[in-house]
Structure 1
Amino acid sequence: SASFTFPPTIFSMLSSALRSLGATLEKAGQALAGSSREVLSRHREVMALKSHAPSIHRTCFVAPSANVVGNVKLAEKSSIWYGAIVRGDLASISIGSMSSIADKATISPMGEGSVQIGNRVLVGQGAVVGVATIHDDAVIGMGSTIGDRAVIESGAYIAPGSVVASGTVVPKAKLFCGEQVLRDLTPAESARLASSVESLCFLRLEHAAEVYKDVIDIEQDKSDAKWMEERSLDYDSSLGLLKNNERAQVW
């Protein structure tokens, strides 16, 4: 049986009519909505607020999905990890050297005073810190809450999920678990905690190297991947061809 096809002019007319209808509907929608202003919102890892801008040492690492806002000071080799929030909009925050604020941790002081975090401190994943003071070498376990005016002395360890109530003082090198101080930390435990903090400090370098790549670095990675599919440095070296390989030409 013979098949029937629509002339091209029919599709052209239909397309034009649909575009016209769409434009008319958009205008009608705008009229119903009244005056409006389209706001372009973009994520910023570091953001000034009012008269305060974060002061961040050049050796620090701030992850792309983190937020550092307002009156915040980060000393050398400190790191703010993915999803972490450090808000110095209502109170100042000072974080010492080689300290790490882990993934999704929140430092958002709402009361009077300031947040003081010492050197080589680790605030674990999902922890929440108020207007508190955390001294050198202390570790705040993941999911813990540190209330306002709490003081965590040097080398203390707050176990995961603990709640340090407002005004509580956790003594030096003590293990705090739940809502109370349990015991002294052993030398081995303190050494393991210190090692974890140091490892995270060095890990920031690897993440920074990847996050801060420019276009040339990315193109170099593509070249490396293509070259490694075909040969290796050992292979070219064994044949005396290392100086002629494609990787050397990219350099």
Structure 2
Amino acid sequence: MPANIVPGFVPYFGFMLKDVGARLAIMAHYLQTNRHMYPVMRHQNVRAYRGMLPWTQDSAFIAPSAFLSGNVVLGHDTCIFYHVVIRNYHVREETVLGDHTVVMDRASFLGQVSVGNGVYIGVGSTLDCCTIGDGVYIGPGVSVALGAVVENGAIVAAGSNVPKDTRIHAWELWAGNPAQKIAEVTQEQANEVAHIVHEQVGVAKAHVQAIHDHIHHTEELDGEWLHLAITEMEKQQQQVTLKVPVDIPLEAKRFLQPRVHMRRPEMHMRMSYPVNRVAPWMPKVADQTANA
């Protein structure tokens, strides 16, 4: 299913109306009652780019901090976890993620990336204009370069670097930097990959329910709860006391002041204070230190 392409400024205007309308609805809801407003995240998961709007209607979970932009299509029960970035600014070929695919935290997709069904993308992985088959396991921290192809059932071990235009054949286990074939994938390993994907889909659905419950629970909180919370925070701040000696020697005060390099003042901004300090017992040269 191609991405929804709308020419002109219509998608941007629509997103602006949607954002303003959502906040007006929340404000109107709280103006009718005595409840206090809960913070609303201004981050938008899905953004249009030149009329190309990601297709996310059938996905299972998109984390609040994830970012999808451009020609992107998500399959059924696709799970996008926290801080994931998926960008595709090309019109002709879309970035497609198949059904029951799990993308873990801080993964990054650049360009036309095609991902099959039942795929696990590990934490911090980077995929750049590559093709991933069905049932593939991409370990944490894996980098798949431009033009690489990972066929069905293959496994790429954690921290591996798949070079450009590399083809990993079906049911092969690759590892290393650069990645090389080290073994064949057994049936037990394939079953473990399917189990991990199924388990993470369940975790994603639990996150959806937890976020929903948190929002509704926050809506039920009233002004009395907010007053009690602020009072408790003030009590905790009063318990923390800072003791500073009153009689500080003059040389110690001069030592605590930062020293600025006269010939290169920018060094004071780049270097930490201990590097720029001059102790009282150190020799002081006029052309090297200020306030000597």
TM range (shorter): 0.5 to 0.7
Q: 5+ unaligned residues in a row in structure 1: which ranges?
A: 1-40, 223-251
Indicate if the aligned counterparts of 2:58 and 2:74 stay in contact, CA closer than 8 A.
no
Indicate if the aligned counterparts of 2:155 and 2:174 stay in contact, CA closer than 8 A.
yes
- Taking only the aligned residue pairs, the percentage that are identical comes to 28
| CA distance in 1 between partners of 2:156 and 2:221 (Å) | 41
Question: Which residue in the other structure is 2:104 paired with?
Answer: 102
Question: Which residue in the other structure is 2:210 paired with?
Answer: 210
**Aligned residue type for 1:93:** T
Structure 1 residues 59, 128: closer, same or farther in 2, change over 3 A?
closer
Q: 5+ unaligned residues in a row in structure 2: which ranges?
A: 1-40, 223-292
Instruction: Report whether the alignment pairs 1:52 with 2:39.
Output: no
**Aligned residue type for 2:109:** I
* Residue aligned with 1:55, SS: coil
| CA distance in 1 between partners of 2:154 and 2:134 (Å) | 9
CA positional deviation for 1:207: 0.5
Question: Which residue in the other structure is 1:135 paired with?
Answer: 133
Structure 1 residues 156, 52: closer, same or farther in 2, change over 3 A?
same
Question: Which residue in the other structure is 1:183 paired with?
Answer: 183
| CA distance in 2 between partners of 1:122 and 1:157 (Å) | 10
Question: Which residue in the other structure is 2:117 paired with?
Answer: 119
Indicate if the aligned counterparts of 1:45 and 1:66 stay in contact, CA closer than 8 A.
yes
Instruction: Report whether the alignment pairs 1:198 with 2:169.
Output: no
Deviations for 1:75-131, whole angstroms, at most 9, x for unmatched residues? 11001100110112246210001001110000012xxxx211000111100000010
Question: Which residue in the other structure is 2:153 paired with?
Answer: 155
Indicate if the aligned counterparts of 2:120 and 2:193 stay in contact, CA closer than 8 A.
no
| CA distance in 2 between partners of 1:55 and 1:181 (Å) | 35
Moved over 6 A (4+): none
| CA distance in 2 between partners of 1:145 and 1:205 (Å) | 27
More displaced stretch, 154-163 vs 53-62: 53-62
CA positional deviation for 1:165: 0.7
| CA distance in 2 between partners of 1:199 and 1:218 (Å) | 29
**Aligned residue type for 2:211:** V
| TM-score normalised to structure 1 length | 0.66
Question: Which residue in the other structure is 2:32 paired with?
Answer: none
CA positional deviation for 1:211: 2.1
Indicate if the aligned counterparts of 1:49 and 1:89 stay in contact, CA closer than 8 A.
yes
| CA distance in 2 between partners of 1:139 and 1:221 (Å) | 43
| CA distance in 1 between partners of 2:146 and 2:221 (Å) | 47
Deviations for 1:13-70, whole angstroms, at most 9, x for unmatched residues? xxxxxxxxxxxxxxxxxxxxxxxxxxxx942111111110000133421100110111
| CA distance in 2 between partners of 1:207 and 1:74 (Å) | 18
| CA distance in 1 between partners of 2:75 and 2:58 (Å) | 9
Question: Which residue in the other structure is 2:14 paired with?
Answer: none
**Aligned residue type for 1:175:** L
CA positional deviation for 1:220: 6.7
| TM-score normalised to structure 2 length | 0.57
| CA distance in 2 between partners of 1:161 and 1:216 (Å) | 40
CA RMSD of aligned residues (A): 2.1
Question: Which residue in the other structure is 1:93 paired with?
Answer: 95
Structure 1 residues 121, 89: closer, same or farther in 2, change over 3 A?
same
Instruction: Report whether the alignment pairs 1:72 with 2:103.
Output: no
| CA distance in 1 between partners of 2:216 and 2:60 (Å) | 23
Structure 1 residues 48, 194: closer, same or farther in 2, change over 3 A?
same
Structure 1 residues 215, 42: closer, same or farther in 2, change over 3 A?
closer
| CA distance in 1 between partners of 2:221 and 2:160 (Å) | 44
